[in-house]
Chains A and B, each alone.
Chain A
């Protein structure tokens, strides 16, 4: 550029504040709330110690909770991303995870590969499945009342569950990770499969963060979430962004499905449990907030395990729902969400 462009005078008076309210995929870290959260868990752990009367049991619950919480976070990140951008409450998210479970079962039983190898198949397959579902099933419901999409995804979940039932039968199946031994960490034991599930989930969550924050596609996804009309005005094809976002969210469920395959009993309806947990995590973290989903996942993982110490013999979901109800009462916008 050779021509010098004169500068318009910069205004010094702030006026006409026209703040746009939009879903925040990445909130700034609210340190006060983090401190409150950490304080809450210190108290919860202390109480669990008093109740169990045994440090080993508490240490074990904390370690297991954190490890499974990372995977819950990954599942919920996909779900919250879809909600943040497409405004769709996707009831089929758990069913997508179940598809990945069966991809893993099939690959391990037919090809004899390590379950983690299924990541390289399940993630791309689920990405394409997600893209197809958005394009051919959900696109027509965009901009329509919320219950349209809700019923479509609910129907889709039932369809997927039953296709899995038809194809693989009702019998529970399992997948073994070779060399899945216990490892001592801070006096507690974690299996290699749990450690790997947590580690890979955190790496994938970090990759999703980099994708959203640092790439052109990610910025466009955040732009569409912030203002769809504005995105169209700059020439972004919002239909493609919707498709890509749903595909990425579904791929997160797919990756999580592979990671939990060695940890759970695999049945056609196994995904439903993860669906429920993911919804709780998403509400806890603030709907549409990706960082909130990861933190929420860790909190719910810990709640589930510590709760089992408070309420021995009860379903681990009991304490999860207690937290869920408390969040809805005390902070319905979630830990990282803004009050509307």
Chain B
């Protein structure tokens, strides 16, 4: 579905990613784990068109995607939820969700809206409230909900548990499992490697801008190097 082949990318002439190879198949959760500064977020930004790769190839559903504008990628089903959430603070929850369906103008949005409200009932209860009045956990739910409104085929989530209590982190990760069960593939960047590997079907470990390990979530969770470096075991 999404394939990165030898992708190099960076900011202002500084190369961050060095020949990254990565693949996400339909209906699976793929986790990207690694230390701060390993290049996980840059990988998502290159895949979602926020930055252009300097070399290598990115394909989404068999078609080239590298260097395309974000709007085009969203319309094709590749949606990115950044760590900073980027919600529309003064807009209501419902307006935020409706804006999530911006590229779906020909599809009635009532179905997608009902699905999001079923997944996160707290958003339905507070639909008229502005996004800036929500707690951190609710904002994260709104952010994922807004991304689901675009009817994605692949959802890329960057550190969805940042700033959340363990209980809320579990709530959000549980929701990510449910989203996968609905047939949406997920590429998950997560600092909390233990939880991410438990949830993921497959995972990659990144170090200094390169993918250094890959395998199923369970395999990596049992790998001595991963256990020592990221799981603190």
Contact = CB atoms under 8 A, between A and B. Distances in A.
Interface of A: 1, 3-11, 13-26, 216, 219-220, 222-223, 226-227, 229-237
Contacts of B105: 216
B99 A223 contact: yes
6 contacts: A6-B178, A8-B171, A14-B135, A14-B138, A15-B136, A20-B87
Contacts of A16: 135-137, 163-165, 168
A1 B119 CA distance: 14
Interface residues of B, number: 58
B175 A8 contact: yes
Nearest to B162: A16
A230 to B, nearest CB: 3
Given A21-B89, A227-B89, A233-B70, A8 B99 contact: no
A93 B164 CA distance: 46
- Most B Cβ at <10 Å: residue of A11, A23, A231, A236: A11
Contacts, number: 146
Provide the main secondary structure of the chain A interface. Answer: loop
B132 A229 contact: no
A205 B189 CA distance: 46
Contacts of B48: 233
A15 B164 contact: yes
Contact of B121 (A1, A10, A20): A10
A18 B136 contact: yes
Nearest to A18: B136
A20 B103 CA distance: 24
The 3 closest A-B pairs by CB, nearest first: A16-B136, A230-B86, A20-B89
Contacts of A220: 99, 102
Given A15-B136, A18-B139, 18 more contacts: A5-B115, A5-B178, A8-B141, A8-B178, A11-B137, A13-B168, A14-B138, A16-B165, A17-B135, A21-B89, A219-B95, A222-B91, A222-B95, A227-B86, A229-B84, A231-B99, A233-B86, A235-B71
A6 B121 CA distance: 10
B146 interface: yes
Contacts of B86: 227, 229-230, 233
Contact of A236 (B71, B131, B137, B165): B71
Contacts of B213: none
B40 interface: no
Interface of B: 48, 50, 70-71, 74-75, 79-82, 84-91, 95-96, 98-100, 102-103, 105, 111, 114-115, 118-122, 125, 131-133, 135-139, 141, 146, 149-150, 163-165, 167-168, 171-172, 174-175, 178, 182
Contacts of B96: 223
A13 B82 CA distance: 23
Contact of A234 (B99, B115, B164): B99
Contacts of A15: 135-137, 164-165, 168
Given A5-B118, A15-B135, A219-B95, A235 B75 contact: yes
Contact of A233 (B74, B111, B136, B167): B74
Contacts of A26: 90
A87 to B, nearest CB: 16
B132 A20 contact: yes
A41 B85 CA distance: 44
Contacts of A9: 171, 174
Contacts of A3: 182
B150 A235 contact: yes
Contacts of A229: 82, 84, 86
Contacts of B165: 13, 15-16
B117 to A, nearest CB: 9
A234 B143 CA distance: 10
A1 B70 contact: no
A319 to B, nearest CB: 33
Nearest to A236: B102
Contacts of A222: 88, 90-91, 95
A52 B167 CA distance: 69
A216 B104 CA distance: 12
Nearest to A26: B90
A23 B132 CA distance: 12
